[in-house]
Amino acid sequence: MTVLSNRVLEMEESVTLAAGARAKALKAEGRDILSLTLGEPDFVTPKNIQDKAIEAITNGSASFYTVASGLPELKAAINTYMENFYGYSVAPNQVVAATGAKFILYAFFASVINPGDEVIIPTPYWVSYADQIKMNEGVPVFVKATEENHFKVTAQQLEEARTDKTKVVLLNSPSNPTGMIYEAEELEAIGNWAVEHDILILADDIYGRLVYNGAKFTPISSLSESIRKQTIVVNGVAKAYAMTGWRVGFAVGNPEIIGAMSKIIGQTTSNLTTVAQYAAIEAFTGPQDTVETMRQAFEERLNTIYPLLNEVPGFEVVKPQGAFYLFPNVTKAMEMKGYTDVTAFTTAILEEVGVALVTGAGFGAPENVRLSYATDLDTLKEAVRRLHVFMEK
Residue ranges binding ligand PMP (CB under 6 A): 39, 100-102, 126, 172, 176, 204, 206, 236, 238, 244, 249
Task: List, as one string, the DSSP characters of 18-30.
Answer: HHHHHHHHHHHTT
DSSP 5: -
Examine residue 322 and tell whether it contacts ligand GLU (CB under 6 A).
Answer: no
Q: State the binding partner of 231 from ligand PMP, ligand GLU, none, CB within 5 to 8 A by kind.
A: none
**38, 194, 202, 237: which one contacts ligand GLU (CB under 6 A)?**
38
111: closest CA among 274, 268, 246? 268
Q: How many CB atoms lie within 10 A of CB 336?
A: 13
Please tell me the distance from the alpha carbon of residue 246 to that of residue 279, in angstroms, as a whole number: 8
Q: State the binding partner of 236 from ligand GLU, ligand PMP, none, CB within 5 to 8 A by kind.
A: ligand PMP
Residue 99 or 354 having the CB closest to ligand PMP: 99
Examine residue 39 and tell whether it contacts ligand GLU (CB under 6 A).
Answer: yes
Closest approach of Cβ 393 to ligand PMP, in Å? 33
Q: State the binding partner of 38 from ligand PMP, ligand GLU, none, CB within 5 to 8 A by kind.
A: ligand GLU
Count the site residues for ligand GLU by CB under 6 A: 11
Residue 128 or 285 having the CB closest to ligand GLU: 128
Q: State the binding partner of 17 from ligand PMP, ligand GLU, none, CB within 5 to 8 A by kind.
A: ligand GLU
**Cβ 134 vs Cβ 11: under 8 Å:** yes
Instruction: Return the residue nearest ligand GLU (CB atom).
Output: 39
Closest approach of Cβ 191 to ligand GLU, in Å? 25
Please tell me the distance from the alpha carbon of residue 242 to that of residue 168, in angstroms, as a whole number: 30
Residue 38 or 130 having the CB closest to ligand GLU: 38
How far are the Cα atoms of 26, 48, 159, 308, 369 from residue 342, in angstroms, in the given order? Answer: 20, 43, 31, 21, 7
Please tell me the distance from the alpha carbon of residue 249 to that of residue 263, in angstroms, as a whole number: 16
Residue 309 or 356 having the CB closest to ligand GLU: 356
Distant-in-sequence, close-in-space partners of 110: CB < 8 Å, separation ≥ 6: 136, 261, 264
Closest approach of Cβ 245 to ligand GLU, in Å? 11
Residue 236 or 354 having the CB closest to ligand PMP: 236
Task: List, as one string, the DSSP characters of 214-267.
Answer: T-----GGGS-HHHHHHEEEEEESTTTTT-GGG-EEEEES-HHHHHHHHHHHHH
Residue 71 or 98 having the CB closest to ligand PMP: 98
DSSP SS3 for 329: strand
Q: State the binding partner of 328 from ligand PMP, ligand GLU, none, CB within 5 to 8 A by kind.
A: none
Examine residue 66 and tell whether it contacts ligand GLU (CB under 6 A).
Answer: no
Please tell me the distance from the alpha carbon of residue 298 to that of residue 75, in angstroms, as a whole number: 29
Residue 100 or 122 having the CB closest to ligand PMP: 100
Examine residue 14 and tell whether it contacts ligand GLU (CB under 6 A).
Answer: yes
- Please state whether the peptide bond connecting residue 307 to the residue before it is cis, i.e. omega within 30 degrees of 0: no
Left (φ > 0), alpha (ψ -120 to 50) or beta: where does 100 sit? left
Q: Which stretch binds ligand GLU (CB under 6 A): 65-73, 123-131, 185-193, 266-274?
A: 123-131
Q: State the binding partner of 249 from ligand GLU, ligand PMP, none, CB within 5 to 8 A by kind.
A: ligand PMP
Give the interface with ligand GLU as residue ranges (CB under 6 A): 14, 16-17, 38-40, 102, 126-128, 176
